[in-house]
Amino acid sequence: MAKNMTLKRLIIAAVFLLLALVCTACRRAIDEPIPEGLYAPVAAESATEDYIADITVDAVIDDAADDVIDDANDDAAEDAIDEAVDDAADDAIDEAKSDAIEDAINDTADEEIDDAADGSSGNAVLSENDPFIINGGVLQKYNGSATDVIIPDGVKSIGERAFQNNTSLAGIVIAEGVTSIGNFAFDGCTSLNSITIPPSVTIIGVHAFGNCKSLSGINMPISITRIEGMSFAGCTSLTSITIPQNITGIEGSTFSGCTALNNIIMPGNIKSIGGRAFKDCTSLTGVTIPISVESIGEGAFWGCVSLANISIPLRVTSIGERAFSECRSLSSIKVDLGNAAYADIDGVLFTKNLRRIVHYPTGKTASAYTIPESAASIGDYAFSGCTALTSITVHVNVTDIGRGAFASCPNLSIRGIRGSYTETYAQENGIQFVAGEV
């Protein structure tokens, strides 16, 4: 279109140039002198020619103007057409985009509807009557009231609190493929008495079976590598437990409050017994701590009132405070002679160098005890709960007595040297002090 406009403009310029030449010639003819005698006819003829020239020039100018106007109109028309075409194209593109977006949205919505219908999206409130809520392979909640339940196929994990406080549940079969049982998953299922755990499970979460008061036994497969703290706390009917071979540590309070537990079998690769792991297992009469164990946590066997004997194996290097407190039947603690950290004298637990008393067994029936001269300190809660003791003699060498060392010893008096550290301690803690030779 731009090329056509340029050509037209060149033609118009040529026309104007031609008109200019004609006008110049006419004016020269008019200005040239006319001979006398010929003036009138020539003048008349000249006037006629001038008139004709003027008309011709006007006509040419009008034609040229018309051409210019027509060209302008044609250009405007072409521009209008081009603009209209461009606008139409833009509208078509916009409409196509809009249609494409709408189609994409509709397709996505259709896919989501289809997924919801067949459960392929991973969201599974499977139907209005299905009690299982499953999301991404995790059984998040069971809303049923059946006494016996089989976990559906496809579930990979039982989520936190999935069955918590379901008092109707008596038996549960966990499907093959489940790898973990979440925190508090069956906590408070007080009627639960039967559990089948498949060999795909590797983790049992915190308090997973806590307070399952009807649970008397459980078979845990060798695949389990971790039993987290308080997993079976408060299972008051649980009588026996075998720790799977791949477990290397019993975590804190795992079996705390299992008052019927009387038999524990631990594998030979256990390295740690966590704090309060067996606290208040009141029916436990004996336990064999594997040679692999290196640490016994704070209060590990606290309150095991039926525990009559305990042996500390070779590799134990750490025993927490109150590990054997209130074990009223425990009259002696034995330590492997090769242990580099601990020793015993007459059943009393000391550090290897005999400089510190770690624990005096609560079940000892003697009314008096004399601390060896080698000792310089008495550990935290070392004599706690020793109700039979009425007198303890402390040498002047003792310069440190831990907190609660003589807690719950209502009839106890301490005998020592007047002016010694022991006398000050007795006065500050409200314990009767008897001065005398030691």
Instruction: Name which of 2-11, 86-95, 199-208 the model is least confident about.
Output: 86-95
Question: Tens of pLDDT along 139-169?
Answer: 999 999 999 999 999 999 999 999 999 999 9
pLDDT at 201 over 60: yes
For the chain, helix (H) and strand (E) counts, in that order, are 3, 27
pLDDT at 134: 97
Instruction: Name which of 18-27, 117-126, 193-202, 315-324 the model is least confident about.
Output: 117-126
Q: What is the mean pLDDT of residues 1-16?
A: 52
pLDDT at 56: 40
| Structural domain that includes position 429 | 365-438
Q: Has residue 68 been placed in a domain?
A: yes
pLDDT at 223 over 50: yes
Among 85, 116, 147, give the residue marking a domain's end: 116
Q: Which stretch of DSSP H or E encloses residue 427?
A: helix 421-428
pLDDT at 204 over 80: yes
Question: The tokens 């093959």 sit on which residue?
Answer: 176
Structural tokens at position 273:
């017994």
Residue % of the chain over a pLDDT of 90: 69
Q: Has residue 111 been placed in a domain?
A: yes
What is the C-alpha separation between 206 and 252, in angstroms, rounded? Answer: 10
- Three-state secondary-structure class, residue 116: helix
Banded pLDDT at 129 (limits 50, 70, 90):
confident
pLDDT at 286 over 70: yes
What is the C-alpha separation between 226 and 244, in angstroms, rounded? Answer: 9
Question: Tens of pLDDT along 350-380?
Answer: 999 999 999 999 999 999 999 999 999 999 9
pLDDT at 52 over 90: no
pLDDT at 100 over 60: no
Q: Has residue 332 been placed in a domain?
A: no
Q: Sheet harboring 272-273: ordered strands across?
A: 249-250, 272-273, 295-296, 318-319
Alpha carbon 176 to its chain centroid, in Å, reads 25
Structural tokens at position 135:
């999301």
The count of domains in the chain is 2
Residue type present at position 377:
S
What is the C-alpha separation between 75 and 5, in angstroms, rounded? Answer: 7
Banded pLDDT at 219 (limits 50, 70, 90):
very high
Is the CB of residue 295 less than 8 Å from the CB of residue 315? no
Banded pLDDT at 20 (limits 50, 70, 90):
low
Q: Check residues 164 and 49 and name the one with the higher pLDDT.
A: 164
What is the C-alpha separation between 79 and 295, in angstroms, rounded? Answer: 93
Q: Sheet harboring 203-204: ordered strands across?
A: 123-125, 132-135, 138-142, 157-158, 180-181, 203-204, 226-227
Report the chain's mean pLDDT, rounded to a whole number. Answer: 81
What residues contact residue 74 under an 8 Å CB cut-off, 6+ apart? none
Is the CB of residue 288 less than 8 Å from the CB of residue 281? no
What is the C-alpha separation between 245 and 247, in angstroms, rounded? Answer: 6
Q: Has residue 205 been placed in a domain?
A: no
Q: Check residues 57 and 161 and name the one with the higher pLDDT.
A: 161
Q: Has residue 371 been placed in a domain?
A: yes
Q: Has residue 94 been placed in a domain?
A: yes
Q: Has residue 55 been placed in a domain?
A: yes
Among 58, 82, 116, give the residue marking a domain's end: 116
What is the C-alpha separation between 26 and 53, in angstroms, rounded? Answer: 7
pLDDT at 369: 98
pLDDT at 36 over 90: no
Structural tokens at position 213:
């008061």
Q: Has residue 183 been placed in a domain?
A: no
- Three-state secondary-structure class, residue 18: helix
- Three-state secondary-structure class, residue 128: coil
What's the predicted TM-score (pTM) here? 0.71
Residue type present at position 391:
S
Question: Tens of pLDDT along 372-399?
Answer: 999 999 999 999 999 999 999 999 999 9
DSSP, residue by residue, 228-270? -TTTTTT-TT--EEE--TT--EEPTTTTTT-TT--EEE--TT-
Among 64, 85, 116, give the residue marking a domain's end: 116
Residue type present at position 336:
D
Instruction: Name which of 115-119, 217-221, 328-332 the model is least confident about.
Output: 115-119
- Of 5-9, 122-126, 140-144, highest mean pLDDT: 140-144
Which runs of E-coded beta strand occur in 70-131? 123-125
Q: Sheet harboring 432-435: ordered strands across?
A: 368-370, 391-393, 413-416, 432-435
- Three-state secondary-structure class, residue 365: coil
pLDDT at 18: 57
Q: Check residues 163 and 56 and name the one with the higher pLDDT.
A: 163
